[in-house]
Structure 1
């Protein structure tokens, strides 16, 4: 059940949240909000793959 939830959440994130890889965002110049979004996407991806 946990994995299904995180797969759904990953799809929602992909549709709603911005993709900083395509924008070639420099992490040293990222704002706190951008770093929080990157961390959130990493957390969801990590839990989807477990």
Structure 2
């Protein structure tokens, strides 16, 4: 299930690393997306 969700995240959610977002200056909604993507990716790999 997490592998499918990770693929959907890759297609839909923005990639902030490609945009060179500074994590110290990220807004709360950006940090929430980063955290969600991290959680799903970790679960899909593990």
Does TM, scored on the shorter chain, surpass 0.5? yes
What TM-score do the two structures reach when normalised by structure 2?
0.97
1:23 positional shift = 0.2
Task: Please identify runs of 4+ aligned residues in structure 1 that moved more than 3 A.
Answer: none
**C-alpha distance in 2 between matches for 1:39 and 1:49:** 15
RMSD over aligned Cα atoms = 0.4
What TM-score do the two structures reach when normalised by structure 1?
0.90
Please, which runs of 5 or more residues in structure 2 have no aligned partner? none
**C-alpha distance in 2 between matches for 1:48 and 1:11:** 10
The structure having more radius of gyration, on CA atoms, is 1
